[in-house]
Structure 1
Amino acid sequence: MSELQTSQSLYQALWNSADILRSKMDANDYKSYLLGMVFYKYLSDKMLFFVARTMEEETDDLAQALELYRGYYEDPETHDDLIEVVKDEMSYAIEPDLTFTALVQEINDSSFQLEHLAQGFRNIEQDDELFENLFEDIDLYSKKLGATPQKQNQTIAAVMKELAELEVAGHAGDMLGDAYEYLIGQFATDSGKKAGEFYTPQPVAKLMTRIALLGREDKKGFTLYDPTMGSGSLLLNAKKYSHEPNTVSYFGQELNTSTYNLARMNMILHGVPIENQYLHNADTLDEDWPTQEPTNFDGVLMNPPYSAKWSADSGFLQDPRFSPFGKLAPKSKADFAFLLHGYYHLKQDGGVMAIVLPHGVLFRGNAEGLIRKHLLEEGAIDTVIGLPANIFFNTSIPTTVIILKKDRKERDVYFIDASKEFTKGKNQNIMEERHIEKILAAYQSRENMDKFAYLATFEELIENDYNLNIPRYVDTFEEEEVEPLADIAGKINETNETIEQKTADLLGMLGQLKGTSPEAEADLASFIERFKN
């Protein structure tokens, strides 16, 4: 079976397992259950196969691996050494009876209790700070799973039986991670507006990541930061486009605890070394992070919540992230607060930042206008890319990707109008590979392209009062072809002839009608006469 077929079968199996929960709760709730259990199975299966390899009795049969583990675990002579080796390698060790395989065996012989899975979750969380509170969003005793403890037990057991068919530990890290991403993307489709909290569509993530890494794909020790990381999908794209993926360090912050836990699982499933993960659960705007080395990064990628509210407390004017600009983003729209936070953490020498925001940031006035002017005078805004409408799960409005740099000598801005670069999909418009390549080619060339791209000088920006609205610079107006008057007259004559013919036909049909009474006959004759005139 090819890698693509394997991935597709994995995707399908994962999605089928969601059917059990779909009728009970919305996607925003059931994603935590399903993804959490997939993750637990992954940890369990990976550990069992590791034990079999370590004891030189390698097998691809989980039941056989469990029996091997149980034998060595229960043997006083080998127990302590085995657990030490497992914890040293895995940072956790699951008791034989609490492994996913053992729990499914209990389900099959009708002895399974939810408390066994809950205990497995608790034990993992206590084994290493890496896993602390990782499963806290999974309420195994929720009434949503069933009205009684027995029904809750049955629901979770049914999901686990479906998941038991998945070969999660046997897949390459990225394949399983990508399958996990697939599920997150499907949940985003199902949960609509709520999805913006945790997911950036892959084509947009790909475009932003490739721009951030452009020319630095071979750099070792690349540092990447996303202060509104969601499920981590934007950060994890670096693994695909860096030629030194195992040396990339990922720094991310997320306010929503549930989404933060998704990102932690996502990192592990993508095989990111633990020492390369620096994730934080807090409010990015409220308190700066990170504040200890490193604080400035090679790349900053952001898809913050659009036009979110924030405190805009006057004390922030003393905050080094915002103080150079003299103004704060308005309380009702934190867009520029997020942008300035990311920009503050960008490296001076060669750093590249890409942020997705609504178009309003390009032209709104007052405090936002003054911040934008300051950024332009500094040469911070390198490129503005207009994206198509309806490509995000949480909004149908068109958005813009703004590229910022700190070490630019010029103060020009390159505009790309990619609003028509999409293929229409069922629910969302989709940017395909050819669309992304066209944008990247323009970005690298920085050349004027008719109805697509334009390099505006700083003088032009001043003339436009620092307004960056894309149509001011990229003219996409298509003049309609003027039809010759003779052709228009011919079409009018054709239409008139058609009307005359249809009228004659209708009168002929009306002439065949007969009234059912003298009064009706008189009414009909009057109607036909008036119709003729």
Structure 2
Amino acid sequence: MTQQQLEKYLWGAATQLRGTIDAGDYKQYIFPLMFFKRICDVYDEEFEKALEEGDGDLEYAAFSEHHHFLVPEGAHWNNVRETTTNVGIAIQDAMRNIEKANPETLYGIFGDASWTNKNRLSDETLTNLIEHYSQHKLNLENVPDDQLGNAYEYLIKEFADDSGHTAAEFYTNRTVVKLMTMIMDPQPGESVYDPTCGSGGLLLNCALHLRDEGKEYRTLKLYGQEINLITSAIARMNMFMHGIEEFSIVRGDTLANPAFLQNDELKTFNVILANPPYSIKAWDQKAFANDRFGRNLWGTPPPSCADYAFEQHIEKSMDAVNGRCVQLWPHGILFRDNEKKMRKKMIETDTVDCVIALGKNLFYNSSMESALLIRRTNKEKRKVGKVLFINAFEEVKDEKTISYLLDKHIDKIFKAYTDYQDIDGFAKVVDIENIMKKDGSLLVTNYVKSSRILDNNTLSVEEAYSNWNQSSKKLNNSMKNLFKTLD
């Protein structure tokens, strides 16, 4: 199959579910079923190869050393395909038995989809799904890792398109991911971490970036944590589908229970990339105020917004020698008044390397404008005491509800970042003391004129909000003076 034919074939399974379940729920059924088929087809391929090597010895061909994953007796795709009643139970049992047979690598990877609920998925619907996938072999000879991995990423994007506002929980715009990866420049043997990894796109792209450069990507150590069960399972499957096996993706709440520890402290990493959930309200602020890992080093964020809890977690997770991080945030984190003290302390550490203001609609299914916050534990000498601001509002390709970066946009932004010097109307290097004079604001348009200011003096939302904050302070002061006079 060509790449396009493969994608059409795989997406065809999702069309079988239309009208039976919500589009946002497709992924919890389609991905596990596809992975189940891949495991069984590769197992058969490996078995035939071992059988040939062992002169037809069936026992020899079944040895575990000949297989990536074990498929126990009765848990094969063909066993499920032969089932005509209670198909959901057969699928669920087969998946659980495969997980048990491969506890170190596959435990929990098939998620917790409700396969046995016949009100959602009848035997007929499941049989049709099984038969659809049975049309082609998904072994390595027919579908190499690269091809299947690309198709898997295609499906993730399709599911994101169908998932509405929840898409941002598991999918980050891949053109932005490419820019983030180029800026971080991961190297062979380094550790890469995403504390809110979603479907694993940021981690995966680091490995693929090295591979495309002709460097050894298999020595890259990938770590991720994701709170959602099915999303963390999708991330793990994503790695395997791309032929990457050296990784650790753990399900859990990064703020409440960070997964990666070393000597009772947070493990540190060379590279951290993240698109954290923004302005979440369901988090334990009280526990963070007395955090046993010392992550509240700049202060405790307000109860209605955990953004700086994630940023401080990342600060504590960076390698002391060459740690570097890039986060995709809405613009509010750059200037909000109720986080000013924490932001100033962050700036005072001189870890802020660069702030890049991006255009609108780069968050998936959200019109909010985004920004990249880039920090390093050890800056180059030429960057010490300085921050680079890049105004890339116009470097975007708009397409209705979703935008993306073209290669020319990525190249222009990346060049400005690597050059680290003033570019009229686009980039500005600013001393930290001048940032503090602006009350610790990291809003890019404070330092690089926005090309979006129109002739009629229409302001951006961020600028209008900042002005409103300032005018509110002046009003409060004048009211206080008035009351004193009246008294």
- TM superposition score normalised by structure 2: 0.85
Name the structure 2 match of 1:358: 330
Name the structure 1 match of 2:468: none
- Give distance in 2, aligned partners of 1:304 and 1:394: 16
Report if the CA contact (8 A) 2:23-2:163 is conserved. yes
The alpha-carbon distance between structure 1 residues 81 and 16, as it changes in their structure 2 partners (threshold 3 A), is: same
Name the structure 2 match of 1:324: 297
Choose which of 410, 414, 429 in structure 2 pairs with 1:455.
Answer: 429
Once the two structures are aligned, what percentage of the paired residues are identical? 32
Where in structure 1 do 4 or more consecutive aligned residues deviate above 6 Å?
Answer: 478-482
- Give distance in 2, aligned partners of 1:469 and 1:201: 22
Q: Which amino acid aligns with 1:222?
A: E
- Give distance in 2, aligned partners of 1:478 and 1:51: 62
Count of aligned residue pairs for this structure pair:
443
Name the structure 2 match of 1:335: 307
Name the structure 1 match of 2:71: 93
What does 1:133-532 correspond to in 2, within 5 Å? Answer: 133-146=108-121, 152-169=122-139, 170-213=142-185, 216=186, 219-242=187-210, 243-273=215-245, 276-292=246-262, 295-309=267-281, 310-313=283-286, 316-325=289-298, 327-366=299-338, 368-408=339-379, 409=381, 410-477=384-451
- Give distance in 2, aligned partners of 1:415 and 1:80: 64
Displacement, 1:249?
A: 0.8
1:35 aligns with 2:31: yes
- Give distance in 2, aligned partners of 1:302 and 1:330: 21
Report if the CA contact (8 A) 1:36-1:135 is conserved. yes
Report if the CA contact (8 A) 1:145-1:155 is conserved. no
- CA displacement, residues 107-153 of structure 1 (integer Å, 9 cap, x when unaligned): 7xx6894433232112101112222222242222224534xxxxx11
Displacement, 1:445?
A: 0.7
- Give distance in 1, aligned partners of 2:445 and 2:258: 35
Larger radius of gyration: 1
- CA displacement, residues 399-440 of structure 1 (integer Å, 9 cap, x when unaligned): 111001011251211111112111121431121221111111
The alpha-carbon distance between structure 1 residues 304 and 38, as it changes in their structure 2 partners (threshold 3 A), is: same
- Give distance in 1, aligned partners of 2:137 and 2:391: 44
- Give distance in 1, aligned partners of 2:238 and 2:335: 37
Report if the CA contact (8 A) 1:322-1:328 is conserved. no
- Give distance in 2, aligned partners of 1:111 and 1:459: 72
1:45 aligns with 2:41: yes
Report if the CA contact (8 A) 1:101-1:164 is conserved. no
Displacement, 1:267?
A: 1.4
Choose which of 8, 15, 30 in structure 2 pairs with 1:19.
Answer: 15
Q: Which amino acid aligns with 1:265?
A: M
SS of 1:56's partner is helix
Q: Which amino acid aligns with 1:138?
A: A
The alpha-carbon distance between structure 1 residues 267 and 433, as it changes in their structure 2 partners (threshold 3 A), is: same
Report if the CA contact (8 A) 2:389-2:427 is conserved. yes
- Give distance in 2, aligned partners of 1:79 and 1:120: 22
The alpha-carbon distance between structure 1 residues 260 and 478, as it changes in their structure 2 partners (threshold 3 A), is: closer
The alpha-carbon distance between structure 1 residues 396 and 277, as it changes in their structure 2 partners (threshold 3 A), is: same
Structure 2: 5+ residue runs without aligned partners?
A: 457-487
Q: Which amino acid aligns with 1:351?
A: G
- Give distance in 1, aligned partners of 2:236 and 2:416: 35
Displacement, 1:324?
A: 2.7
Report if the CA contact (8 A) 1:257-1:281 is conserved. yes
Q: Which amino acid aligns with 2:14?
A: A
- Give distance in 2, aligned partners of 1:210 and 1:321: 31
SS of 1:237's partner is helix
The alpha-carbon distance between structure 1 residues 199 and 478, as it changes in their structure 2 partners (threshold 3 A), is: closer
Report if the CA contact (8 A) 1:422-1:429 is conserved. yes
- TM superposition score normalised by structure 1: 0.78
- Give distance in 2, aligned partners of 1:112 and 1:167: 25
- Give distance in 2, aligned partners of 1:121 and 1:418: 47
SS of 1:332's partner is coil
Report if the CA contact (8 A) 1:25-1:144 is conserved. no
- Give distance in 2, aligned partners of 1:480 and 1:333: 32
- CA displacement, residues 29-73 of structure 1 (integer Å, 9 cap, x when unaligned): 121111111000000000000111111289xxxxxxxxx9xxx7x
Q: Which amino acid aligns with 2:117?
A: S
1:84 aligns with 2:60: no
Higher helix share: 1
Report if the CA contact (8 A) 1:254-1:281 is conserved. yes
Q: Which amino acid aligns with 1:223?
A: S
- Give distance in 2, aligned partners of 1:354 and 1:479: 27
Report if the CA contact (8 A) 1:322-1:340 is conserved. yes
Choose which of 7, 12, 17 in structure 1 pairs with 2:3.
Answer: 7
Q: Which amino acid aligns with 1:246?
A: R
RMSD value over aligned CA atoms?
A: 2.4
